[in-house]
């Protein structure tokens, strides 16, 4: 693959060409950062959801699911801290009328200085050859030291300004550093202001502030407010978890990189309620379980890494991300957070309702602590799709694009293909379809030469092609072609079910994730 940027472009156009993902309302030239899942995309997405749901809910006796409303009482978002603190600092360029995140402009400036340091190091490494000691060079070379000092000063000034909510100081920093609009070079900036990422709308006929409600920016709060309902009605004992899959909305200032950062997206979140003091062990448990869940898919062990948060959010006492090697590099795919009793306590305070657990063992009542796992469904989709996309050079000199989607997640499990459109082969193929369709998503196609049909199935990631030929009519056997190896085997029709089941089994994935 030429380069990573190129790969993302190819994945985007392949997705559109074959019906995985389309730009939203494309006939009106699309809407930025909104996408629609097509006929194959929805199948892949449903399979990812099922893998997550089964691993979290079905495989854990003490985890149950819910599906809460997207609209919630507005006080929810006061209590969660989103009304006051779910902000990004933004700045507009007066000439280009473009809007940027002030923190991103500053980070990009710092990144440029880092690149200069790297170049300096590269040059020295070439000059000194084997004798080069990078550590020593970093700590003694005057140019590197001067640049590193610049970086530290910028980071400190920015951090202090943000902590003191001094947006004028952030603007001053942008001016002092001479940061220009990356598109036009203009330095004619507005003031910096905080921009809340929640979408607002109005409830029914009530207008003005009283009627304002928000589209939820995360699904987690729907779980917190239902903690007691589920605990009581399900007679749940600590530790127990509540899982949910649903839409979330964030008015991201810069939304880009395809479905990686959207304004409307889907989350799969699980809040695990525990006894205070046990958060360390549960945090470790969920870190291990979640990484195993990812690795069971076989996308490559080296495609993941943990990133521990040093600067913690106001609600957390430990937090990390599972990062995935996307075409744009390692980026956050999932977050695991030890949230203490922040959310439940805050909802107690704002609602005036007790959100406690009576512990029959210790005879005391307390607000449970929470460890949460939170993964973006769309980011997971992008991880699977971009990892699956492969251009292969074949022995006969031809090329094929194959989507090596893990078979359990593949949108279509098998294509049934009569070799020719006559002699009773289509009828026989339909008979096979009829039987398989109750258990698998199967696809029928009779148009074009068989080789072309195979290629089309490779391009959408179908694990098996079943070809019905004249011999089929005599012996009740078919050839079955496997996507990754392209090997073909003649098998009895009566064996098809078990061959496909074995390969596309969700069960074996779940067993690996255990």
Residue bearing tokens 């779940």: 510
Asked if residue 325 binds ligand ATP (CB under 6 A), the reply is no
From the list 88, 120, 252, 445, which residue makes contact with ligand ATP (rule: CB under 6 A)?
Answer: 252
Asked if residue 261 binds ligand ATP (CB under 6 A), the reply is yes
From the list 55, 333, 384, 414, which residue makes contact with ligand ATP (rule: CB under 6 A)?
Answer: 333
Q: How far is the CB of 267 from ligand ATP (least distance, A)?
A: 5
From the list 89, 239, 241, 335, which residue makes contact with ligand ATP (rule: CB under 6 A)?
Answer: 335
Distances in whole angstroms, Cα of residue 448 to Cα of each of 153, 400, 422, 466, 483: 65, 17, 13, 15, 19
Reported as half-sphere exposure (CB side, CA atoms, 13 A), residue 309 has a value of: 18
- Of the two residues 261 and 497, which places its CB atom closer to ligand ATP in the complex? 261
Asked if residue 500 binds ligand ATP (CB under 6 A), the reply is no
From the list 262, 299, 415, 468, which residue makes contact with ligand ATP (rule: CB under 6 A)?
Answer: 262
CA 503/CA 380 separation, integer angstroms: 22
CA 279/CA 114 separation, integer angstroms: 37
- Of the two residues 250 and 428, which places its CB atom closer to ligand ATP in the complex? 250
- Of the two residues 265 and 293, which places its CB atom closer to ligand ATP in the complex? 265
Q: How far is the CB of 264 from ligand ATP (least distance, A)?
A: 8
Ranges within 354-383 binding ligand ATP (CB under 6 A): 374-376, 378-379
Asked if residue 267 binds ligand ATP (CB under 6 A), the reply is yes
Q: Could you tell me which residues are beta bridge partners of residue 477? A: 492
Q: Which of 80, 17, 42 is nearest to 225 (CA)?
A: 80
From the list 189, 265, 282, 283, which residue makes contact with ligand ATP (rule: CB under 6 A)?
Answer: 265
- Outline where DSSP puts E strands in 218-363: 240-249, 264-274, 304-308, 318-326, 329-340, 357-359
Looking only at the bridges linking them, the beta strands covering 488-492 and 477-482 are antiparallel
Q: How far is the CB of 101 from ligand ATP (least distance, A)?
A: 11
Residue bearing tokens 């060409």: 17
Q: Which range binds ligand ATP by CB under 6 A, 45-53, 261-269, 281-289, 360-368?
A: 261-269
Residues whose CB falls within 8 Å of the CB of residue 401, separated by 6 or more in sequence, listed in order: 14, 389, 390, 391, 392, 458, 459
Asked if residue 296 binds ligand ATP (CB under 6 A), the reply is no
Q: How far is the CB of 261 from ligand ATP (least distance, A)?
A: 4
CA 514/CA 260 separation, integer angstroms: 28
Q: Which residues bind ligand ATP (CB under 6 A)?
A: 218, 250, 252, 261-262, 265, 267, 332-335, 374-376, 378-379
């Amino acid at each position: 693959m030429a380069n990573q940027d190129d790969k993302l472009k190819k994945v985007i156009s392949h997705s559109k060409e074959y019906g995985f993902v389309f730009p939203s309302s494309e006939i009106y030239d699309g809407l930025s950062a909104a996408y629609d899942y097509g006929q194959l995309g929805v199948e892949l997405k449903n399979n990812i959801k099922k893998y997550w749901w089964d691993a979290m809910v079905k495989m854990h006796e003490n985890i149950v699911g819910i599906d809460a409303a997207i609209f919630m009482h507005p006080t929810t978002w006061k209590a969660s801290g989103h009304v006051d603190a779910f902000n990004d600092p933004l700045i507009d360029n007066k000439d280009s009328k473009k809007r940027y995140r002030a923190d991103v402009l500053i980070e990009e400036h710092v990144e440029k200085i880092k690149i200069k340091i790297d170049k300096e190091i590269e040059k020295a490494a070439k000059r000194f050859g084997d004798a080069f000691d990078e550590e020593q060079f970093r700590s003694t070379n005057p140019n590197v030291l001067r640049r590193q000092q610049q970086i530290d000063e910028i980071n400190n000034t920015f951090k202090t300004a943000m902590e003191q909510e001094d947006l004028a100081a952030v603007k001053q920093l942008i001016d002092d550093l001479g940061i220009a609009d990356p598109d036009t070079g203009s330095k004619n900036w507005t003031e910096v202001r905080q921009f809340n990422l929640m979408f607002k709308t109005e409830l029914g006929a009530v207008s003005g502030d009283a009627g304002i409600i928000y589209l939820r920016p995360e699904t987690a709060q729907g779980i917190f407010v239902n903690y007691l309902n589920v605990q009581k009605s399900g007679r749940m004992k600590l530790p127990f978890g509540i899982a949910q899959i649903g839409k979330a909305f964030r008015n991201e200032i810069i939304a880009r990189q395809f479905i990686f950062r959207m304004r409307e997206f889907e989350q799969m979140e699980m809040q695990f309620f525990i006894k205070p003091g046990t958060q360390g062990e549960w945090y470790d448990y969920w870190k291990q379980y979640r990484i195993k869940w990812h690795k069971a898919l076989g996308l490559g062990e080296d495609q993941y890494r943990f990133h521990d948060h040093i600067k913690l959010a106001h609600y957390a006492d430990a937090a990390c991300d599972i990062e995935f090697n996307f075409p744009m590099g390692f980026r956050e795919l999932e977050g695991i957070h030890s949230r203490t009793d922040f959310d439940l306590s805050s909802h107690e305070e704002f609602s005036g309702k007790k959100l406690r657990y009576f512990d029959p063992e210790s005879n005391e009542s307390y607000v449970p602590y929470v460890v949460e796992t939170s993964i973006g469904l769309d980011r997971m989709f992008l991880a699977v799709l971009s990892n699956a996309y492969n251009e292969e050079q074949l022995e006969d000199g031809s090329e094929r694009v194959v989507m090596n989607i893990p078979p359990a997640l593949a949108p279509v499990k098998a294509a049934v293909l009569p070799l020719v459109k006559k002699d009773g082969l289509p009828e026989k193929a339909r008979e096979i379809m009829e039987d398989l369709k109750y258990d698998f998503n199967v696809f029928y196609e009779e148009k074009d030469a068989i080789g072309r049909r195979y290629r089309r199935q490779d391009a959408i990631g179908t694990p098996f092609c079943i070809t019905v030929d004249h011999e089929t009519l005599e012996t009740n056997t078919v050839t079955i072609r496997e996507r990754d190896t392209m090997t073909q085997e003649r098998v009895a029709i009566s064996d098809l079910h078990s061959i496909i089941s074995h390969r596309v089994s969700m069960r074996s994935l779940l067993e690996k994730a255990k």
